Structures are given as structure tokens and as C-alpha cells.
Amino acid sequence: MRLNEANESLSMNRRSTLLKKVWIISVIAVLIISSLSACAAKKSEDKTAAEKEDISREAEEDAAHITVGVKGSEITIVKEGEPYIESGAYGIDDRTGAIKTYETSGKVNSQKPGEYTVEYKFKSGKGEKSIKRTVKVVKANEYKANTGGIPVLMYHFVYTDNDVPANLNSNYIKDTDLDAHLNYLKSEDYYFPSYKELRAYVDGKISLPEKSVILSFDDGQAGFLAYGIPLLEKHKIPATSFFIGVRDGEGVMRSNASRYLSYQSHSYDMHRAGGNIGHGGRISAMQMTEIRDDLKAAADLVANNEAFAYPFGDVTDDAREAVRQCEIDCAFTTEYGKVHPGMDFTILPRIRVQGTNSLEAFIGSL
């Protein structure tokens, strides 16, 4: 009996020892697994942080290639009770060209005087960049409306004392003279409508401020790009470059992106000889469908169809029909004059700026 009890006691001791060993092994295993899990989690966290850092770096690098600007004045003036015209914005990636879509946020109540904010967000690659427009709704009895028409100024080329063209003519303006023009417009607090605002003005839907003007530069000439754009940026005055698509249009746009210069169509490939009316531009020898296809190609390049300047100012009925079918907001000739309500949006006039004229003559043309 005692022998059996001794054997049972020994067996119990062995089981107890075994259980302790199993418990110790289990604890060690749990500790090892926990340690391995912690290491794996740390590695995962480190990897995630590195990936996030890479994404952030790529986003910053992509954003650095984006230039954005609003169309028209950055401070939009609206008369109380009249509709707010959304002028939009533009974005250019210096690697890929015009950014064709963007997000718009913000609301404007034109029935209630006050200030509102509209924001535009552009994305390209992993980068994004935003710009804001301030909208001021002015009380109707305090709003000073334009009654004399809107001058759309037509400049061409810019030169400097150190870069004088061989065939200098009145289409060229010296950089110091352009600087004087811009300084006058800025000091006199001129308003710079967008083409959508101008179209609404032509259609009788809205008023525009008393001192309103639009600046346009034809042909995308190298001197304008080199010397004109810095002056626009200096004075913070928005302008348009009516450029020609087939003449490395995308390259010009990518290399000369600016917050104060939007690009519009001077045709894709119609700015050359081949016609038999006006200045002999080929547009007069083209069918309506050919003109329409050219306008669509140009609109695709600049990512909008807001404005078009007829090459050489030559206009035909087919060209005007193509403008209508492409739903272009404003089409400009070279006929001298201001834009007034009730005019035909397919044949709007402009004020040609002569580089040989005095500052006083320029002021008088406004």
C-alpha cells in the first residue's frame, strides 16, 4: 500500500514538473510570438511611413510643375440682383500641357451684397494646386456700370532696347511702353472681365464695371513671351495669348505658364496664306466642317472654347457658323471698336494697340 502511494506521489510530482515545463514553454512561445508580431508591426509601420513619405514627396514634386490662374480679375465684381457668371480657372502642367478638368467649390448669392470665395482645385499626377477667387457683390445703388463699351486691346509683339527686331513696325511695342500701359491700368483700378463675363454683357445679362478692359496678345511671339509676361506678373494684370496650335502651341504653353496669362485660340492651323479675301488667310478657302475641325483641335489644346481670334481678321459666313457650332463664347475680328451689348458674338471688334502711339493716345482709346 505504501509502495503504491509512493508511486502515485512520484507520478504526481512528474506530472507537476511536466506541467510547469509546458507552462514555461508556452510563456516563452507567447513571448516569442509577441516579439515577432511587434517586429512585423514595426516593419509594417516603417514601410507604411516610408511609402507615405514617398507619396508626399511625389505629390510635392508634381505640384511644383503646376501653374494655376483664374480667368478674368481675381476679385470679381457683381452688381446686386444680377447673375454671378462663373468665369472658371485654368491650370497648366509644364510637362503635359493644359489640365482639362478641375474642381470648383464655393457659392455666391448675388442677391445679397457681401464677399464670397470660390476655390478651384487642379490635379496632375499625384500633385494638386488650388487658387481662390474673391467675389464682391456690390449694392445696386453703389455699382458704377460701364456705358461706353468694353475695349478689348489687341497687342502683338514686344521688344527691348537690347532686342530690337530687324523689321520694326507698329505691331511692336517697347517693353517700357507696355509697362507704362499696365501701370496706368493698375493705378486707375481697371477691371479685367473674363470672356464668359463679356459674353454675358453682350447678351444683356449683366453689367460690367465702369472701367473695364481686356488685354490680348496675338501670335504667341517670342518677345511677348520673354518680355511681356514678366510685366503682366509685375502688375498682376491678367491677359490672353491668342496663339497658333501648329506652331508648337503646347510647347509654348508649357514653357510659358503664368498665373496672369491664359491661352486662347488663334486657330490650330489657319494662320497662313491660301485664301482670296481680306488679308488672304486660308480660312476663306476652307469649308465650314474644316474650319470647325480646326477650332476643335485648338480648343482641345487650350482646354477651353471661350475665345477665338480670326487669323488675319478674315471672316466668312462658314467661319461664323463653325464658331457657333463649336459654342465659342467670343470670336474677335480686327475691326476697330469697343464691344457693346447686343453685338454679334461671332464678330466682335478689338482696339489695335499701335506701338508707335503715345501713352496719351493709349489712354484715349480706352
**How far is it, in rounded angstroms, from Cα 309 to Cα 42?**
62
Residue 205 included in any domain: yes
Does 10 or 35 have the greater pLDDT score?
Answer: 35
Upper half-sphere CA count for residue 239 (Cβ side, 13 Å) = 30
Chain centroid, CA 278 distance in Å = 34
Residue 190 included in any domain: yes
Residue 310, domain extent: 143-365
State the DSSP string of 307-366: EEE-GGG---HHHHHHHHHTT-SEEEEEEES-B-TT--TTSEEEEEPPTTS-HHHHHHH-
Residue 240 included in any domain: yes
**How far is it, in rounded angstroms, from Cα 295 to Cα 304?**
11
**Mean pLDDT over the full length of the chain:** 91
pLDDT at 3 over 50: no
Residues 6+ apart with CB under 8 A from 107: 116
Residue 250 included in any domain: yes
3-state SS, residue 44: helix
Residue 264 included in any domain: yes
Window from 27-41, 82-96, 235-249, 319-333 with minimum mean pLDDT? 27-41
What cell does 241 get?
495669348
Residue 275 included in any domain: yes
Residue 169 per-residue DSSP state: -
CA angle 330, 335, 336 (to 5 degrees): 105
Window from 18-22, 180-184, 236-240 with minimum mean pLDDT? 18-22
Q: How many domains does the chain have?
A: 1
State the DSSP string of 228-259: IHHHHHHHT--EEEEE-TTTTHHHHHHHT-BT
**How far is it, in rounded angstroms, from Cα 57 to Cα 54?**
5
pLDDT-above-90 percentage for the chain: 81
Residue 195 included in any domain: yes
pLDDT-above-70 percentage for the chain: 88
C-alpha distance from residue 224 to each of 107, 131, 241 (Å)? 36, 25, 9
Task: Find out whether 77 and 136 touch, Cβ atoms under 8 Å.
Answer: yes
Which of the four pLDDT bands, split at 50, 70 and 90, describes residue 277? confident
3-state SS, residue 289: helix
Instruction: Give the mean model confidence (pLDDT) for residues 116-141.
Output: 97
pLDDT at 72 over 50: yes
Instruction: Give the mean model confidence (pLDDT) for residues 355-361.
Output: 94
Instruction: Give the mean model confidence (pLDDT) for residues 210-223.
Output: 96
Q: What is the pLDDT of residue 68?
A: 97
Look-up: residue for cell 480686327?
Answer: 334
pLDDT at 36 over 80: no
Q: What is the pLDDT of residue 241?
A: 96
278 burial via Cβ count (<10 Å: 0-12, 13-18, 19+): middle
Window from 29-33, 123-127, 192-196 with minimum mean pLDDT? 29-33
Residue 201 included in any domain: yes
Q: What is the pLDDT of residue 264?
A: 96
The enclosing domain of 182 has a CATH number of 3.20.20.370
